[in-house]
């Protein structure tokens, strides 16, 4: 088989890149402008107040992103104390950081099955609803936000139904949700009100149930004005799942938030797959998500948020100390994934 001129040239270039020892030359560093300058829509990340004491971390967040989401310190687990008092020091610091750097604030989360503070559990049936209304009103008014995850992760793990939670048991399966949306709207009519869910790209039943729930809420008159797709995925996720999920929720015509994207390599399953191959798979998934997001009409592109700025602070490090799921490594350097994410941006 004769080699074409192009193949010979390409081969020569590749070889010339190798050191005399035959080892491949280190890949050239990836250089990108600030992510928020590359995108015509908000680019967000989850943050924790204590991390702002790390200068490199604070600089990276302020430079690269235009929106922040408190990773956990604006949730009931942080704010609601056992005596019913409310603690706001950390979320106040995050809100102040956002104001100081001209960033949007995104609040998560108001009503979530995973949050059942003992103080709420002890309330009488008569007080339970009004005290939830009071909590939601207090928090939403304290933090002027671009949007809120009003209801988070309402679908069961297997995707076949709605979760049962303290909130649904005491205020109704749909009633607790419509109430939360109504109270949030009354507290701040300017903030968008999202429902948010995970694994829409990997559990088809969940995507179906999510769409049916959104239809039910809208039919019930819930002032739901945004739809979130968390997009926590693993590098072995088959291509196409993210695109399908984003297109499906996009059909409601509401603002869409890719709200919590990260791509775990440590959780990916595959024998004998090289790290370089996983990193390429990770890059493809970040690129697929951005392509899908940019397919949406511009008014529906609320924000693209990742769940952490740097690998070193990722929640997934609590599971595997070497996982590298985010767009920046522990030194704040962009990766193959970051370039794929950026290359996929279309105005």
Is 201 within 8 Å of 236 (Cβ atoms)? Answer: no
In the bound complex, what is the minimum distance in angstroms from residue 40's beta carbon to ligand G3I?
A: 26
Output 176 or 232, the one with its CB closest to ligand G3I. Answer: 232
Triad 282, 334, 289: Cα angle to 5° = 40
Output 59 or 77, the one with its CB closest to ligand G3I. Answer: 77
> What is the DSSP code string of 103-115?
-EEEE--SEETT-
In the bound complex, what is the minimum distance in angstroms from residue 160's beta carbon to ligand G3I?
A: 19
Which helix (H) or strand (E) segment holds residue 60: the answer is helix 55-64
Query: Which residue matches tokens 């995707």?
Result: 159
Binding-site string for ligand G3I from residue 247 to residue 286, where x marks contact by CB under 6 A and - marks none: -------------x--------------------------
- The rounded Cα 94 to chain-centroid distance in angstroms is 17
Triad 250, 61, 278: Cα angle to 5° = 65
Residue nearest to ligand G3I (CB): 315
Buried b (16+ CB within 10 A) or exposed e, 157-175: eebeebeebbbbebbebbe
Residues 200-239 that bind ligand G3I (CB under 6 A): 230, 232
Q: Alpha-carbon distance 27 to 191, whole Å?
A: 44
In the bound complex, what is the minimum distance in angstroms from residue 230's beta carbon to ligand G3I?
A: 5
Please choose, out of 17-25, 68-76, 242-250, 263-271, the segment that lies near ligand G3I by the rule CB under 6 A: 68-76
Output 196 or 338, the one with its CB closest to ligand G3I. Answer: 196
In the bound complex, what is the minimum distance in angstroms from residue 13's beta carbon to ligand G3I?
A: 43
In the bound complex, what is the minimum distance in angstroms from residue 152's beta carbon to ligand G3I?
A: 6
Residues 147-206 that bind ligand G3I (CB under 6 A): 198
Output 252 or 315, the one with its CB closest to ligand G3I. Answer: 315
Q: Tell me 310's DSSP state.
A: B
In the bound complex, what is the minimum distance in angstroms from residue 318's beta carbon to ligand G3I?
A: 7
State the burial class of residue 36 (Cβ atoms within 10 Å of its Cβ: 0-12, 13-18, 19+): middle
Query: Which residue matches tokens 């009003």?
Result: 150
In the bound complex, what is the minimum distance in angstroms from residue 16's beta carbon to ligand G3I?
A: 45
| Cis peptide bond prior to 109, omega within 30° of 0 | yes
In the bound complex, what is the minimum distance in angstroms from residue 113's beta carbon to ligand G3I?
A: 11
Binding-site string for ligand G3I from residue 100 to residue 119, where x marks contact by CB under 6 A and - marks none: --------x-----------
Please choose, out of 51-59, 72-80, 94-102, 221-229, the segment that lies near ligand G3I by the rule CB under 6 A: 72-80
Nearest residue to 167 via CA among 216, 210, 114: 114
Which segments of 256-310 does DSSP mark as H helices, in order?
A: 275-295
Output 75 or 179, the one with its CB closest to ligand G3I. Answer: 75
Query: Which residue matches tokens 């694994």?
Result: 199
Q: Alpha-carbon distance 114 to 41, whole Å?
A: 30
Binding site for ligand G3I (CB under 6 A): 71-72, 75, 77, 108, 198, 230, 232, 260, 315
């Amino acid at each position: 088989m004769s080699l074409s001129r192009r193949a010979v040239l390409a081969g020569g270039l590749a070889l010339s890149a190798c050191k005399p020892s035959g080892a491949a030359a280190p890949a050239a560093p990836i250089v990108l402008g600030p992510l928020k300058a590359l995108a015509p829509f908000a680019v967000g990340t989850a943050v924790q107040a204590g991390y702002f004491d790390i200068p490199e971390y604070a600089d990276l967040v302020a430079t690269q992103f235009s929106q922040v989401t408190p990773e956990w310190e604006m949730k009931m687990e942080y704010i609601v104390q056992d005596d019913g008092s409310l603690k706001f020091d950390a979320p106040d610091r995050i809100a102040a950081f956002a104001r100081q750097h001209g960033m949007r604030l995104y609040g998560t989360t108001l009503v979530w099955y995973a949050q059942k503070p003992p103080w709420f559990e002890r309330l009488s049936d008569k007080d339970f609803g009004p005290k939830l209304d009071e909590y939601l009103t207090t928090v939403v008014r304290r933090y002027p936000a671009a949007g809120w995850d009003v209801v988070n992760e309402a679908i069961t793990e297997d995707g076949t139904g709605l979760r049962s939670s303290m909130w649904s048991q005491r205020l109704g399966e749909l009633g607790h949700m419509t109430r939360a949306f109504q109270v949030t709207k009354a507290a701040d009519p300017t903030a968008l009100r999202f429902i948010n869910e995970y694994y829409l790209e990997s559990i088809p039943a969940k995507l179906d149930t999510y769409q049916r729930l959104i239809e039910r809420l809208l039919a019930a008159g819930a002032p739901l004005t945004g739809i979130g797709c968390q997009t926590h995925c693993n590098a072995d996720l088959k291509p196409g799942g993210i695109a399908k999920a984003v297109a499906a929720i996009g059909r409601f015509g509401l603002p869409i938030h890719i709200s919590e994207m990260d791509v775990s390599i440590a959780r990916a399953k595959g024998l004998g797959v090289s790290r370089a191959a996983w990193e390429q798979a990770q890059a493809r998934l970040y690129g697929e998500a951005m392509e899908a997001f940019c397919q949406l009409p511009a008014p529906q592109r609320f924000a693209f948020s990742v769940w952490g700025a740097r690998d070193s602070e990722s929640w997934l490090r609590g599971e595997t100390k070497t996982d590298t799921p985010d767009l920046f490594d522990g030194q704040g350097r962009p990766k193959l994934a970051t370039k794929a994410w950026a290359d996929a941006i279309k105005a």
